[in-house]
Amino acid sequence: MEIRTVGVIGAGQMGNGIAHVFALAGYQVLLNDISPDALSKAIAVIERNLDRQVTREKISQEDKTAAMGRIDTTTTLTDLGPLDLIIEAATERETVKTAIFEDLQPHLRPETILTSNTSSISITRLASRTDRPEKFMGLHFMNPVPVMQLVELIRGIATDEATYKTMLGVVESLGKTAASAEDFPAFIVNRILMPMINEAVYTLYEGVGNVRSIDESMKLGANHPMGPLELADFIGLDTCLAIMNVLHDGLADTKYRPCPLLTKYVEAGWLGRKTSRGFYDYRGDTPVPTR
């Protein structure tokens, strides 16, 4: 099946990045969120990130103008009904994702492919709640989407070969590289990355290091581009906690126990960069560690 039109649900940091790369690759994009505010913020972020690519001579001014012209927004989910491909990138909560697919389903064409950008939740389970498990896949982009090369492709137990091949072609058309992962909790990248981040929070919780020394150690000692706590703030602490809970519940092993300090930050509403406070406080000119 040829994909030309794409609906992106959830206009947070991942949704805006996904809309950005699809529009730049020539797809017509309709971006949906429950909040009109989130949609206008997303358009402003996309414009800023495209400008950055123009300044760095990665794309031309004409490419930018054409990409912006290919993105429309809507707060009405059912407007996405006639599109070829749906990418759900709403909050990492299974009930939210299931409700979105249930609401959208009666308005879809039979051939439309459904995907989720979930970081951790079972694709088979999400697919089983739809009328087309064979046309359902995990399409997992990395943050920041315009920069990161990898997209994980996750087949549910019922996903058919035609859907997989179509999505492989879509990933290639974006200039990105696909990696296939089996449908087990958190797939490949987050199965490995998130326990490391959780361990960094334990290292802080147990007083082995402070925020700055933990991040400096991993940047200078292991050549990571960001320290684990800085990266956790960048991903969103609510998302990190949600992924740890999926690992803990899904694999039933105490080694995935979310650190109580991570839970405390989320309970405080200190979710990282998106709320201007997490392991660092971003409200001033430079980030200040909170511990």
Ligand X SMILES: NC(=O)C1=CN([C@@H]2O[C@H](COP(=O)(O)OP(=O)(O)OC[C@H]3O[C@@H](n4cnc5c(N)ncnc54)[C@H](OP(=O)(O)O)[C@@H]3O)[C@@H](O)[C@H]2O)C=CC1
Ligand Y SMILES: CC(=O)CC(=O)SCCNC(=O)CCNC(=O)[C@H](O)C(C)(C)COP(=O)(O)OP(=O)(O)OC[C@H]1O[C@@H](n2cnc3c(N)ncnc32)[C@H](O)[C@@H]1OP(=O)(O)O
Give the position of tokens 């492709």.
153
Strands 177-181, 280-281: pairing kind? unpaired
Residue 209 binds ligand Y (CB under 6 A):
no
Structure tokens at 157: 């137990």
**What is the x/- site pattern for ligand Y, positions 231-250, by CB under 6 A?**
x---x---x-----------
Q: With contact defined as beta carbons under 8 Å apart, do 185 and 250 qualify?
A: yes
Tell me which of ligand Y, ligand X, none is bound by residue 261, counting a contact when its beta carbon lies within the kind-specific cut-off of 5 to 8 angstroms.
none
Q: Which residues bind ligand X (CB under 6 A)?
A: 9-15, 32-35, 38, 89-92, 96, 100, 117-119, 141, 143, 235-236, 239, 274
Considering the complex, state which of residue 96 and residue 188 has its C-beta at the smaller distance from ligand X.
96
For every residue of 75-135, DSSP letters joined together read S-GGGGTT-SEEEE---S-HHHHHHHHHHHGGGS-TT-EEEE--SSS-HHHHHHTSS-GGG
Please give the residues from 6 up to 65 whose contact with ligand Y meets the rule CB under 6 A.
49, 52, 56, 58
Q: Which of 5, 91, 98, 143 binds ligand Y (CB under 6 A)?
A: 143
To which residue do tokens 């972020």 refer? Answer: 45
Cβ of residue 35: shortest distance to ligand X, in angstroms? Answer: 4
Is 15 annotated to bind ligand?
Answer: yes
Q: List CB contacts of 78: < 8 A, sequence separation 6 or more.
A: 103, 104, 107
Residue 146 interacts with ligand Y (CB under 6 A): yes or no: yes
**Under 8 Å between Cβ of 53 and 95:** no
By beta-carbon proximity to ligand Y, the closer residue of 207 and 225 is: 225
Specify whether 223 is catalytic: no
Q: Is 79 annotated as a binding residue?
A: no
The active-site residue, picked from 16, 32, 117, 140, is 140
Angle at 208 between CA 204 and CA 210, to 5 degrees: 50
- 162 is annotated as contributing to ligand binding: no
Q: How many residues bind ligand Y (CB under 6 A)?
A: 19
- Dihedral class, residue 98 (left if φ above 0, else alpha if ψ from -120 to 50, else beta): alpha
Catalytic center residues: 119, 140, 152, 190
Residues annotated within the binding site for NAD(+) are: 10-15, 33, 92, 97, 119, 143, 274
Residues annotated within the binding site are: 10-15, 33, 92, 97, 119, 143, 274
